[in-house]
Amino acid sequence: TAQSEVRDTTHLFNIWKAVQFSDTMKVTWIVLAFVLFSHLHWTAAAPGAGLHTWDRFSKLPYPGDKAFLYDTFPDKFMWAVGTAAYSVEGAWEKDGKGKSIWDTFTRGGTQVSRGDVGSDSYHNIPGDLRALQQLGVSHYRFSLSWPRIFSNGTKESYNEKGVEYYKSLIQGLKEIKVQPVVTLYHWDLPDSLQTLFGGWSNSVMVELFREYADFCFKTFGSDVKFWITIDNPFVVAWHGYGTGVVAPGIKNDSDLPFRVGHNLLKAHAAAWHLYDDRYCSSQGGRVSMALASHWIRPSRTRQENRKACQCSLDFVLGWFARPLFVDGDYPPYMKRNLTHRLPSFTEAESLYVNGTADFFALSHGPALSFQLINDSLRFGQTEDLGLRMLLYWVGAEYNNPPIFVVESGWFGSGNTKTKDAKHMYYLKSFIMETLKAICFDRVNVIGYTAWSLLDGYEWYREYGIRRGLFFVDFNTPYLKREPKTSATFYSKLIEKNGFPQLPENRPAQGVFPCDFAWGVAANSIQFADPSVYIWNISGNGELKKVPGVLVPPMHRKHHCADYSSILQQVSDVHRMQVSHFHFSLNWSSITPTGRVSDANETLLKYYHCFVSELQKVNVTPVVTLWYHTGKLSSLPAPMEAGGGWQSKETVQAFADYARLCFQRLGAHVKLWITLNEPNDEDLEFTVGHQLLRAHALAWHVYDTEFRRAQGGKASLVLHMDWVEPAFSFNREDVEPANRVLDFRVSWFAEPIFGSGDYPAVMRTWLQQRSNIDLFNYHLPAFSDEDRLLVKGTYDFFAISHFTTSMVYDGVEDKYTFKDKLQVQLISDVTWIMSPRRNSPVVPWGLRKARKSYTLDGVNLKGYFAYAFSDQRDPGFGMHGHVQEEVISKSSLAHYKNIIHHNGFPAPGTPQQHCPHAPVHGSRRYVLTKQPVVGFLSLVSSYMLITVCLVIYYAVKRHKIATKKLKKMVPVDSCTFNLFVLLVSLITYKLCF
């Protein structure tokens, strides 16, 4: 990885410094180092260099770049958690604290609740310290309340009790070895300063803030190594003095936000210079300004869209970052578009502001993304949560500064208690993005701060959301703190310093047994194609359909050559190198009336031809009798009209249909699937009961009437998308996942493979739900006869698996909450998402199958990829269709490579030697090349006929002129016709 390359480079230079080399050797080492460093792709660092970020990330390999990264963070990486004073302190008018602009703002307008009590941290320092210890963080970011220290905003209103509170907190942090990261101003300006001076709109605030900062540096600075002057100046200026969304709620003056932003920058610079001049040498701390930003993606791949994204970031982040980190002035785009509305810096002010940040303090999360960015600031582009790309952009745009992520995380609903899976997985995603930025992009990230430590008052969202790692019960007198699942996750992650590679996550290497079945599945196969094709029209040897031209029906006995699609399909399957091909029959087409006496003979002959031709190329057919299609019925129309699967007549008709298929196709089919994925969670339990009986009847038909003669096997396929506990920190967390699997898989599996009855868990749970919800969740009972009928009706266990989901007890999203099972479905946002079906691609399928065979001893016999073609199911398919031409997708080549190696052999291992299956007959090559052979034979026959005609007329013309020709026996028309007939017969035999 890039991280290991950097570590190796550092090690190389340590050796160079430690060992005495000659000058020649040193030059050699320097050249070697230059080559190594030029090989690494360092982040470009110059104003405007961030513009290439979108182009760079669009070219990264997919899905490889999205894969989970198992690695750890650098040594001494800072793990932090944060809070803001107004959100958590409470005690809004106690012990001499003055009123803030938020105290005033929440008592007017449309605000319903206030932060008067918040999480009551003012009275609960021990509880907060215990929470920090439980997390195991190295740093705690909190803010000082300006009106708690200076009640009216000036040093004359010094409040001793407020200062003592912060001294006690810092001392407590020191005792538990947690370093404070202190914010001087987190939005709670003393209200008197807003009333007297108009707050940050007045330049007098620069000196007042410097005076306040001076007191804080002097009073607390000996124990503080990281200072944040002002948090999120964009929100303060744009929404506090522009849109009026946050305090002080001023709006309708379009120029005011830019004057406020100007004063905020100068106030920060004044505080930075104060610390640099008076305190830095003795205290050794670092000072910065916390800048928040969203991330944004181009709505199109054009360069102008990328420039629009750059403008969006310039207007939000660059507004404050460029003056601090580049040249002491605003971004050029802002200056061009705002002209006189944007205040200007004098040359002296630019020099004073530029460089006043010892690190880049970056905030990222819901404070901006999707909530506080106006449409006008998106510039027609699309917001995104790409923290990794934002980190890269900051590094490229601002000379790769050390970046401390001082706020990051997501939120849960106000009803969320301790099970906050959504918050936890967003937190995991953001930390993963940070790790990739460090390892892959070489961004200099030095710390990460999860937000927030506690549930509290969330500004304009009030108590409608929860962002804390610790749940606070606002209805209890002592506001009890309880760790959420996100807190447990974060503490374990800090303990491991990231995501180290675990044994269960390492790729398993090895090969499958020689008799392992590699297959491909298709919903159905093409029955008949009456179209006319032109061959090799473009020189590529392919057939091109002639639009609007159809072949007239033939009035003679059918044979396999009549079905033109069979040859092409079998040839395509054979080229995939699979040993098995799985497809479904169409019950409603074979017996349209539901009676076997009315069977479609043409279709049965077609299926017979298809399976027999598959056998000729050593491909074993696996045939499904009935494929569940959800709400679209695939039953014969009379069966559907008569009640569908609710009717016992349908069950008996299915057994008769199965007998017909076994009888007509069984000589060539040795693997039968009675029902494909009947365990649809939306089906009524009574329908499921009848489906079990239908499967059992069909299985017994095969077992008693056909097994001895045909020697095949039969079973059913159960849909088995895997379910993981959203978190598994205790035994109770596993129960929701087991419940879903019981209802999803054991519903059908237990009666067949187990006891002959439904799982006891299902009956118990449904009885409880019926009593609580007053719903009649009726699970049918098996009679003794049915139990004996169903139990043991299998020859193998077949499952279909596509994706994985996670579940837990709790309600966060009503759209993915399963009321019957009382579980919340969720996906890990770090998983790769399928671009076509928007479902997680969790690479545990073939990989887990491989591991289960070698590590767990599971008797795994085969794996079938889905699907052969995307014609019926566009979300899948190894063959595609573009303008009526069949194309092979890249997945086909990958699958063939796995089949060729029979798995994943470790490098350097000897090649596996498996006995080859015998070739059935001598027609294997002729079948795949039959269209070409037929065409060439016809051409040859016409050439022979032409030659014969030429000879005939030549002889007739010259028989008088030449004596030798007179002696020749003339060829009469009867002989010639016999010759033509002979050639035609030979051609026919070659073709068919």
pLDDT at 492: 97
Mean pLDDT of 176-194: 99
CA dist 432 and 423 (Å) reads 14
Confirm whether 845 is domain-assigned: no
CA angle 857, 863, 867 (to 5 degrees): 155
CA dist 269 and 406 (Å) reads 19
pLDDT at 35: 38
Structural domain including 981 reads 929-991
Name the phi and psi angles at 714, rounded to 5: -145, 145
CA dist 600 and 598 (Å) reads 7
Helix (H) or strand (E) holding 425: helix 421-439
- Cβ burial, residue 656 (10 Å; 0-12/13-18/19+): middle
716-754 confidence digits (pLDDT tens)? 999 988 888 999 888 888 999 999 999 999 999 999 999
Domain stop point among 500, 515, 545: 500
Return the DSSP state at 598: G
**Where is average pLDDT lowest: 127-131, 256-260, 315-319, 944-948?**
944-948
3-class state of residue 690 by DSSP: helix
Written as six digits, the tokens of 418 are: 């301790």
pLDDT bracket for residue 281 (50, 70, 90)? very high
Contact 844, 851 (CB under 8 A): no
**Higher pLDDT, residue 224 or 920:** 224
Confirm whether 663 is domain-assigned: no
From residue 614, how far is each of 324, 607, 618 by CA, in Å? 71, 11, 7
pLDDT at 634: 81
Distance of CA 362 to the CA centre of its chain: 26
CB contact set of 329 (below 8 Å; sequence gap of 6+): 322, 323, 335, 345, 350
Residue type, 31: V
Distance of CA 941 to the CA centre of its chain: 60
**Higher pLDDT, residue 390 or 965:** 390
To the nearest whole percent, how much of the chain has pLDDT over 90?
65
Name the phi and psi angles at 474, rounded to 5: -70, -5
Q: 115 pLDDT exceeds 50?
A: yes
Residue type, 493: L
Other C-beta atoms closer than 10 Å to the C-beta of 507 total 10
3-class state of residue 172 by DSSP: helix
pLDDT at 886: 79
On the CB side of 950, CA atoms within 13 Å amount to 6
CA dist 896 and 899 (Å) reads 5
**Where is average pLDDT lowest: 35-49, 92-106, 456-470, 720-734?**
35-49
- Which alpha helices (H) appear in 756-801, and where do they start and end? 760-773, 784-790
CA dist 501 and 491 (Å) reads 18
pLDDT at 30: 43
Question: To 10 degrees, the CA torsion angle through 436, 441, 445, 450?
Answer: -30
Other C-beta atoms closer than 10 Å to the C-beta of 658 total 27
Confirm whether 913 is domain-assigned: no
CA dist 385 and 426 (Å) reads 10
Pairing mode, strands 580-584 and 517-521? parallel
Name the phi and psi angles at 762, rounded to 5: -60, -50
Q: 980 pLDDT exceeds 60?
A: no
Domain stop point among 473, 500, 527: 500
Mean pLDDT of 758-787: 86
Q: Is the dihedral of CA 974, 975, 979, 980 positive or negative?
A: negative
pLDDT bracket for residue 151 (50, 70, 90)? very high
34-60 confidence digits (pLDDT tens)? 433 333 344 445 678 999 999 999 999
Burial code (b: 16+ CB inside 10 Å, e: under 16) for 90-120 equals bbbeeeebbbbbbbebbeeeeeeebbbbbbb
Q: 26 pLDDT exceeds 50?
A: no
285-302 confidence digits (pLDDT tens)? 999 999 999 999 999 989
Q: 664 pLDDT exceeds 60?
A: yes
3-class state of residue 228 by DSSP: strand
pLDDT at 922: 37
Beta bridge partners of 82: 141, 451
CA dist 217 and 213 (Å) reads 6
To the nearest whole percent, how much of the chain has pLDDT over 70?
80
CA dist 794 and 703 (Å) reads 10
Confirm whether 812 is domain-assigned: no
pLDDT at 968: 43
pLDDT at 984: 54
pLDDT at 482: 97
Burial code (b: 16+ CB inside 10 Å, e: under 16) for 540-562 equals eeebeeeeeeeeeeeeeeeeeeb
Confirm whether 49 is domain-assigned: no
Contact 364, 407 (CB under 8 A): yes
**Where is average pLDDT lowest: 416-430, 533-547, 729-743, 845-859?**
845-859
pLDDT bracket for residue 711 (50, 70, 90)? very high
How big is the chain by its Cα radius of gyration, in Å?
38
Confirm whether 165 is domain-assigned: yes
Q: 279 pLDDT exceeds 70?
A: yes
From residue 736, how far is each of 612, 685, 742, 749, 831 by CA, in Å? 47, 20, 10, 19, 21
Closest CA to 596 of 521, 663, 684: 663
CB contact set of 651 (below 8 Å; sequence gap of 6+): 645, 690, 693, 694, 697
CA dist 417 and 483 (Å) reads 10
Confirm whether 17 is domain-assigned: no
Q: 866 pLDDT exceeds 80?
A: yes
**Higher pLDDT, residue 419 or 962:** 419
Distance of CA 315 to the CA centre of its chain: 31
Mean pLDDT of 858-871: 89
566-616 confidence digits (pLDDT tens)? 888 899 999 999 999 999 999 999 999 999 999 999 899 999 999 999 999
Closest CA to 297 of 405, 380, 397, 392: 380
Reported residue count of the chain is 992
DSSP secondary structure of 73-137: PPTTPEEEEE--HHHH---TTSTTPPPBHHHHHTTSTT-----SSTT-GGG-HHHHHHHHHHHT-
First to last CA, the chain: 59
pLDDT at 967: 45
Q: Which residue, chain included where needed, has tokens 């969330």?
A: 458
Helix (H) or strand (E) holding 717: strand 713-719
Confirm whether 586 is domain-assigned: no
pLDDT at 660: 98
328: left (phi over 0), alpha (psi -120 to 50) or beta: left
Q: Is the dihedral of CA 397, 401, 407, 409 positive or negative?
A: positive
Beta bridge partners of 798: 717
Written as six digits, the tokens of 47 are: 């104003």
Return the DSSP state at 632: S
* Mean of pLDDT over the chain: 86
pLDDT at 875: 73
CB contact set of 17 (below 8 Å; sequence gap of 6+): none
**Higher pLDDT, residue 832 or 698:** 698
| Cis amide prior to 867 (ω within 30 degrees) | yes
Domain stop point among 465, 500, 535: 500
On the CB side of 323, CA atoms within 13 Å amount to 32
The CATH number for 343's domain is: 3.20.20.80
The number of distinct structural domains making up the chain is 2
Other C-beta atoms closer than 10 Å to the C-beta of 33 total 14
Q: Which residue, chain included where needed, has tokens 């073939």?
A: 846
CB contact set of 734 (below 8 Å; sequence gap of 6+): 725, 728
Q: 217 pLDDT exceeds 70?
A: yes
pLDDT bracket for residue 871 (50, 70, 90)? confident
3-class state of residue 445 by DSSP: strand
**Higher pLDDT, residue 249 or 841:** 249
DSSP secondary structure of 284-352: --EEEEEEE--EEE-SSSSHHHHHHHHHHHIIIIIHHHHHHHTSSS--HHHHHHHGGGS----HHHHHH
Q: 440 pLDDT exceeds 50?
A: yes
From residue 508, how far is each of 38, 95, 851 by CA, in Å? 35, 63, 6
